Structure 1
Amino acid sequence: MNIDAAINIHDLRELARRRLPRVIYEYLEGAAEDEVTLRRNRSSLDEVEFIPRIVAGHKKADLGVTLFGESLAFPAVVGPTGMNGIFHRHADLVLARAAEQAGAAFALATASNESIETVGAATRGVKWFQLYPWGDRKVWRRLLDRAAAAGFTCLVLTVDTPVPGNRERDRRNRFAHDVTISPRTVLDGLLHPGWLWNVWLKGVPRFENLLEFVHPAADIHEIAAFTRKHRHPDLSWDDVAAIRAMWKGPFLIKGVLSVQDARQALNMGADGIVISNHGGRQLDGAVSTIQSIEPIADAVGKRLTILADGGFRRGADIVKALSLGANAVVLGRAPLYGVAAAGAAGAARALQILEEETARTMILLGCGSVKTLSPDYVSAPYQQRR
């Protein structure tokens, strides 16, 4: 299938599956344990029904939003995902540029395969930085200072990974931030020559942002060992407050699923939260993100900017999240399918598809602006009735 013939995210997903070796595709696709939360993110979205307004008289839909003083033409953030370089060489740069082109924001992960400085210099779009609190407070401060100097305007602190999730697909494939070479993986790579040439034969991507905390010549195995050794299962709200004090710009906490934690985030000085269950990759059985949005928005939505991720594959999914109270969404696997399928063209196509679907859904719903979406436009089994 030609990339221009891909008419939805599912088409891009299939192209990615064909192009990637199995071990790499399963890292992208998989989740924790029985993958209940992964499926629930999707099934809960499917349970939300639209209540359209007819004869609304809107020729087009205004998808623009303002987040922390910065204007976006599309209410989405290309989310902070790690190890993107195993899907396509320089994937982080590709995604950042695709986000800029689409008028979305881009969030760079601590575990990116391009450095903070490289991505900062490569795009003038809205750029955020995501921090995994690995290492000690000196490591955190150093990463935040680098991000601020490189033009990243917002910090996203991920707090839902105190220990690695039990991702059984990766365990079976002996994949843990690095690939164990076996006859099977060698054969699988040879059967995918496009990926082999683009990624593997040019050197295994490293976590470039972490090199200075290991040593400049560290390989992926040494850096992966650093990330495993320096996690913080004892991360506390005092640590969150310390990170808040280190960062002078807008500050979001990612991994919130309860009203209580949303209120605590507000009390700790957060400017926003990302309602997230890590795409089902951490705690299996966690509540779906879409059903968490409205109660949290009712509790703190007037004082916190609310974003949400979790299974968005259609523009309709984005509209559902915004209707229930999110200010914007965070996209994880959807743009990754695009970049894994066809690099820059695939990443751009993924965002184009979602933007077109979002605008079409808005017109069919009878709503001319995402700013005027409300729970009145949807019905869901878990919706709070007023």
Structure 2
Amino acid sequence: MPAITCIEDLKRLYERRVPRMFYDYTESGSWTEATFEKNCSDFHDILLKQRVAVDMSGRTTQSQMIGQDVTMPVALAPVGLTGMQSADGEIKAARAAEAFGVPFTLSTMSICSIEDVAEHTSKPFWFQVYTLKDDDFMRRLFERAKAARCSAMMITIDLQVMGQRHKDIKNGLSAPPKLTPKSVANMMTKMRWGMEMLGTKRRFFGNIVGHASGVTDPSSLSAWTAEAFDEALDWNRIREFRKIWDGPFIIKGIIDPRDAKEALNVGADAIVVSNHGGRQLDGALSSIRALPHIMDAVGDKIEVHLDGGIRSGQDVLKALALGAKGTMIGRSFVYGLGAAGEQGVTKALEIIHKELDLSMAFCGKTNVKHLDRDILMVPRPFLGDWA
């Protein structure tokens, strides 16, 4: 692997090694992609305060997320199609997270199944589900997660309908990829990726094919997916899911403080401030700009995590200083996975950890649990003065 010093290095390598449709799946948002871009750029508006002549020895980034000890308050977010970025990608990412000491979250729309990941890891992982209309499938999904000893359930609630993602539509995104002249020509330039994919049997959505009623192949999967998401979802249905799962329960997809309060009312243990990586409602507030308002509303009553736009340890630092107890990375670890498999995910975590540790020290702090707004310079317009 060439010299890698930042997440952007991994991204460049990732772009060279992975087929275009899967790169575009990761590196895109809905419609104009304004929210996708703001998720990252809004972090730059927050400045850090450097302090000097402070004892920087004995630093620690160790913390807890929903009661689980972590090397740093960063979890791997649920990302669909991870096993198309690198063969057996979910297994590789889960192993890297386990070795590093941070949580891994498996997506319902993963290529490797819950059972696949459980078989190839030794510690419990988190599992993410969408709110689907098929009650029987949902019930069995929860049972499978329990059987696999998943330590937390994450409900994604911002995908009742799917946002329009132009690149995915134009690329004909699918798993396995559809063989068109365009896709075949591109995949022929990604020989390393292709050879690895030929060596695995996992090329379909492992949690769905063979488990959902009537879904036995990619064609039947497409029909099922088109009708699967529950447009009638409301907080009473989420309350029902809370009753089914008796372990730590996380609700992901919160941007408005009113929804944060509703999540608290249904008994969630934690919420994830997230706009689905800018892939749902374009023109919405970035996650980092939404965070302070949500902290003001519920931050002393429920554990708050942040997802969206984190590309460095400094981004993690800023989110924690604004009150989040944990953060999640999706694209950052996928860049590493596509660039160099399990080793690449480890590298992404190492980069973020080093940047977090050093930046914390420069701000005069030695314990990640003690971060607060005192290390930040937040411009007044950042918090919004909306009419």
TM-score range with shorter-chain normalisation? over 0.9
Q: Please give the secondary structure, in 2, of the residue aligned with 1:162.
A: coil
1:184 to 172, 182, 190: 182
Per-residue deviation at 1:302? 1.5
Distance in 1, matches of 2:261 and 2:175, equals 34
Match of 1:99 in 2: 97
Distance in 2, matches of 1:125 and 1:32, equals 35
Match of 1:222 in 2: 220
Deviates more, 1:212-221 or 1:243-252: 212-221
Deviates more, 1:19-28 or 1:233-242: 19-28
Distance in 2, matches of 1:373 and 1:126, equals 28
Deviates more, 1:235-244 or 1:207-216: 207-216
Per-residue deviation at 1:221? 3.2
Deviates more, 1:259-268 or 1:293-302: 293-302
Q: Please give the secondary structure, in 2, of the residue aligned with 1:366.
A: coil
State the Cα deviation string for residues 325-346 of structure 1 (Å, max 9, x = none). 1101011000000010111111
Superposed, 1:312-351 pairs within 5 Å as 312-351=310-349
Distance in 1, matches of 2:364 and 2:124, equals 30
Structure 2, unpaired ranges of 5+ = none
Q: Percent identity?
A: 35
User: Aligned-residue CA RMSD in angstroms?
Assistant: 1.8
Per-residue deviation at 1:347? 1.1
Contact 2:88 2:112 in 1 (8 A): yes
Structure 2 residue identity aligned to 1:32: S
Match of 1:175 in 2: 173
Give the 4+ runs in structure 1 shifted more than 6 A: none
State the Cα deviation string for residues 72-128 of structure 1 (Å, max 9, x = none). 111111011111111111100111111111111011111111111221232234511
State the Cα deviation string for residues 118-153 of structure 1 (Å, max 9, x = none). 212322345111011224222212111111121111
Per-residue deviation at 1:223? 2.0
Contact 2:175 2:205 in 1 (8 A): no
Q: Please give the secondary structure, in 1, of the residue aligned with 2:111.
A: coil
Match of 1:303 in 2: 301
Residues 126 and 364 of structure 1: CA distance in aligned 2, closer, same or farther (over 3 Å):
farther
TM-score (normalizing by structure 1): 0.95
Distance in 2, matches of 1:326 and 1:140, equals 30
Distance in 1, matches of 2:223 and 2:215, equals 14
Distance in 1, matches of 2:19 and 2:100, equals 29
Deviates more, 1:376-385 or 1:182-191: 376-385
Contact 2:162 2:280 in 1 (8 A): yes
Match of 2:237 in 1: 239
Per-residue deviation at 1:181? 2.2
Contact 2:242 2:267 in 1 (8 A): yes
Contact 1:167 1:281 in 2 (8 A): yes
2:264 to 257, 263, 266: 266
Structure 1, unpaired ranges of 5+ = none
Contact 2:11 2:339 in 1 (8 A): yes
Distance in 2, matches of 1:142 and 1:313, equals 35
Distance in 2, matches of 1:36 and 1:182, equals 30
Deviates more, 1:375-384 or 1:275-284: 375-384
Contact 1:205 1:220 in 2 (8 A): no
**Alignment size in residue pairs:** 383
Distance in 2, matches of 1:137 and 1:12, equals 40
Match of 2:127 in 1: 129
